[in-house]
A = this chain, B = another copy of it.
Amino acid sequence: MRMAELSRRSGVSVPTIKYYLREGLLPAGAVTSPNQADYGNGHLRRLRLIRALIDVGGLSVAAAREVLGAVDDPSVVGHDLLGVAHCAVVPTKRAGRDTEEWLAARAEAATVVERRGWHVSPNAPALDLVADVIAAARALGLDELLGVIDGYADVAETVAEHDLGTVIARAQRGDTDDEMGRQALMVEAVVTGTVLGESLLTGLRLLAQEAASARIFGQTAPSVG
C-alpha cells in the first residue's frame, strides 16, 4: 500500500510516519519509483506497536527504538527480553542517587526483595526506582506509604503472575500472523504486556481509588455505564 493508505489504516499522520522512518522506528518500504514506496501489513502492525509504546505506554522515541531493536533481534529471547522492556519503562538516569539517604533507601529496597524471596539482578533498574520512592517518602515523612510496601509487593506478585500467564498463553496460541513467526509474536507480547499493562494498572488503580474515596468521604459520583 502507499503511505496515504498506511496513514489512513493506522490512524498515524503522514508527517509522523515520515518521522518514524527517519528515526529508524519503522523500516523503509519497498521502493517502487524514485518518489514512491510500497508498505505491507508488517508496516501497519509495526506502526500500531509504535503507537502503543509511545502514545499509550508513554515511552520516549529513544526508549521505543531500544525496545523495537530487541523485538527485531532474534538473539534476544525470553528472560533477556524482559530486561530490555524494563530498562525502557524505568528512567535510568536520575540525580541524587549518590546521597547517604538514597543509598540507605537502596539497601532497604534490596531488603524488601530478599524478604519476598524474589531472585532478581542486583543491577535491576526497578530496584533504583523503588529506592527513589523510599527516599522521597522518608524525606517527606510519609511513613504511612512505607508501611504499605509489603501490601504493594503482594499485589505486584499477583500482577506478575497474570503478566507471565499472558505471555505463556500467547506462546501456546495456534494461530500465527502471516508475516510474523511464533517467537516474534511472543516477544511482542512481552514488551507490549509490560508497557501496556503498566498503563492499564495505572488507570484501574485511579478508578478504584476514586470509587473508594467516594465511598469513604461519603460523596457520590454519577455511575458510569
Chain A interface residues toward B at CB < 8 A: 11, 45, 48-49, 51-52, 55-56, 58, 78-79, 82-83, 86, 89-91, 94-96, 99, 109-114, 116-122, 124-127, 129-130, 132-133, 136-137, 139-142, 144-145, 147-149, 151-170, 177, 188-189, 192-194, 196-217, 219-225
The listed residue with most B CB atoms (<10 A of its CB), out of A130, A205, A211, is A205
Specify the main secondary structure of chain A where it touches its partner: helix
Q: A58-B91, A79-B214, A168-B216 are in contact. Are A151 and B158 (CB under 8 A)?
A: yes
CA distance A194 to B137 in the complex (A): 12
In whole Å, how far is A152's beta carbon from the nearest beta carbon of chain B? 5
List B contacts of A170 (CB < 8 A).
142, 144
In whole Å, how far is A53's beta carbon from the nearest beta carbon of chain B? 9
Q: How many copies does the complex hold?
A: 2
**In contact, B120 and A196 (Cβ under 8 angstroms):** no
CA distance A58 to B129 in the complex (A): 11
List B contacts of A177 (CB < 8 A).
141
**In contact, B48 and A156 (Cβ under 8 angstroms):** no
Q: A145-B192, A166-B147, A198-B202 are in contact. Are A210 and B129 (CB under 8 A)?
A: no
CA distance A86 to B214 in the complex (A): 14
